[in-house]
Chains A and B, each alone.
Chain A
Amino acid sequence: MHELRQVRMRYAGVEVLRVDALRLEAGEFVAVVGPNGAGKSTLLAILAGLRPGHEGECRLEGRDLRRWPRRDFARLVSFVPQSLAIEFPFTAGQVVLMGRTPLGDSLFESDADLAAAAEAMRLTDTAAFRGRDFRSLSGGEKQRVILAAALAQSPRVLLLDEPTTFLDLKHQLAIYSLLRDLAGRGLLIVAATHELNLAAGFAGRVVVLDRGRVEADAPPAEALAPEVLRRVFEVAVEWLPGPAGRPWIRYGE
């Protein structure tokens, strides 16, 4: 699916990302972790085709992202921003339905569109506030609505920028197991996150970024090894026995 080669990204002359080679395949659930400024959001934005100013090559299915017609690309890849500040009174339901825009040109949504939106809202547990003004929702509710909009897009690649920052514990777990299920159904899931334990517990592969470079790229038990985390995050880290051989990471003194 996605393939990066010699990708460099600079903002105002400062190199924020330097990825020599990275391949992401359908069916993978990849967590991208790293400290602030490590380049997680930049990597996701590049994968989402939103930073065409990068150097090097980023391909989807063998074709450079910059050569993809935007519409065709949007039918394959959907991007979930961390948050969304909306100025106007769109309802949560309307925001989710907007996910369907790449799939049709008609003035009104089809029954299939409505069904896909309803299913996305069921999966994200957002149906209850479908009619509410998006601006009146809490941070976590907004985040789930944004995810629902991305799911309604019926993508094959789902890119998420810290999808659970504002979520309560129950919904953190629900969203992560939803993402794992989607990967199981053949989607490529890439999520940037600070939740190391969720990444360890659900993702099949973890990419650790530090100052724009890939420090580790392996299954969680290897990529999140204490010595890697100590070096990258500069905090004391130890592993506690977790479920099914996966680590439970305790950090701090």
Chain B
Amino acid sequence: MANEPVTARRLAAVTAVAGLAAAAVLALTPLIGPVAIDYGRAFAGLSPDREILFQARLPRVLLALLAGGALTLAGVLFQALVRDALADPYTLGISSGASLGAVIAITLGLRQLGRYPAVGAAAFLGAAATMALVAAIASRGRRISSFTLLLAGVTINSMSMAVILFLHNLADVGQSFAIMRWLMGGIEVVEYSTILWLAAIVFPVAVYLFLFARRWNLLAVGEEWAEARGVPLRRLLLGGFLAASVLTGAVTAITGPIGFVGLIIPHALRLRIGADHRLLIPAAFLVGAAFLGICDTVARTVLAPTEIPVAVITALLGGPFFIWLLRSRRRSLWL
């Protein structure tokens, strides 16, 4: 299947299968939980099914799907931009930059930043600032070195964590609790308005990325390769990093850091459908959505009534996967 040429027909087929997976998760996981509910009763407006579905489970499932899709897409993009299957919002330090922003807001006791909730807005700014910093460190003249970028990400990661620990030390008990809770990234029940504004950010970015799919293909092969094929390299890199940071920042602002989602799904998909971004982008978005939806269902049911943060699940799955990927890749690590 990976070997066939990329045509509109194949795109439709791949999108249909991936869309089916996401739709199945959307349809089935709200039914799972400590209290059995029934769609017939819920849509008929009968209590408590109606409240449980529309006020507890559905917003959470929708947020999981949206966050999973966006994080996976960010992973795909970061991997193409730095030409490394190990890159994702987590390994490049973007997630921890967002965390640092949130922790600063919590420690300062900010409630509002302009018109926005302070923690979310600060997380978003943290993600953007980290991306700019990592890119500035890695760019020399008009080029950006992928290898330096990854290392810069790792370094920023540990520095952010150090500052977070320091701030945590200074914090009072209430703030300390808020910090720990935020750092354990998780999907929580949110207002529909929050989901709507997240969707309003994620969908346009996803469409932009999809329309540039052939350029990501060129970039995924090499910077000179892309440049020799008429791509405005610097603009494309900037646009790509900006888009991936926006996706990561927007999601992390709501859920806290959830790692490794952008690592597992893109890799698995490339083995199945190949590396062409025209297929990879829609498939990654939909399958990533389904994946996080399932992970979150596990997170809220496996130890019910206790809920575990979904980031614990993704890290337990993603960590070993990362190590396996690191060991199995053919390219020598000596560089």
Contact = CB atoms under 8 A, between A and B. Distances in A.
Are A and B physically bound partners? yes
Interface of A: 48-50, 53, 70-75, 77-79, 81, 84-91, 93-95, 97-99, 101-102, 107-109, 114, 131-133, 135, 153
B227 A50 contact: yes
A84 B214 CA distance: 18
B331 A50 contact: no
Contacts of A78: 228
A90 B214 contact: no
A123 B161 CA distance: 56
Given A81-B225, A94-B5, A108-B7, 13 more contacts: A49-B227, A49-B228, A74-B228, A81-B222, A89-B270, A90-B274, A90-B276, A94-B276, A98-B218, A108-B278, A114-B5, A131-B4, A153-B229
A95 B230 contact: no
Contacts, number: 104
Nearest to B214: A101
Contact of A70 (B85, B211, B231, B274): B231
A99 B331 contact: no
B8 A84 contact: no
B201 interface: no
Nearest to B233: A70
Interface in B220-243: 220-222, 224-225, 227-232
B2 A89 contact: yes
Contact-residue size bin, chain B (C-beta under 8 Å from the other chain) = 35 or more
B221 A90 contact: yes
14 contacts: A50-B224, A78-B228, A79-B224, A87-B83, A89-B270, A90-B274, A91-B2, A94-B274, A94-B276, A95-B221, A98-B221, A101-B218, A107-B213, A108-B278
Contacts of B229: 74, 98-99, 101-102, 153
A93 B6 CA distance: 10
B220 A88 contact: yes
Interface string B180-206: 000000000000000000000000000
A48 B6 CA distance: 29
Contact of B275 (A89, A101, A132, A153): A89
A86 B276 CA distance: 13
Contacts of A70: 227, 230-232
Contacts of A89: 2, 270-271, 274-275
Nearest to B9: A108
A63 B24 CA distance: 58
Nearest to B10: A108
B215 interface: yes
B107 interface: no
A77 B85 CA distance: 31
A86 B213 contact: no
Contacts of A88: 79-80, 83, 85, 220, 270, 275
Contacts of B213: 107
B84 interface: yes
Interface string B1-18: 011111110010000000
B217 A107 contact: no
Contacts of A109: 5-6
A102 B230 contact: yes
Interface centre among B5, B229, B274 (most CB of A within 10 A): B229
B110 to A, nearest CB: 41
A4 B228 CA distance: 19
Contacts of B11: 108
Nearest to B141: A53
B330 interface: yes
A114 B4 CA distance: 13
The CB with the most chain A CB atoms within 10 A, among B211, B218, B275, is that of: B275
Contacts of A72: 230
Contacts of B221: 84, 86, 90, 95, 98
Ranked 3 nearest A-B pairs via Cβ = A74-B230, A131-B3, A88-B275
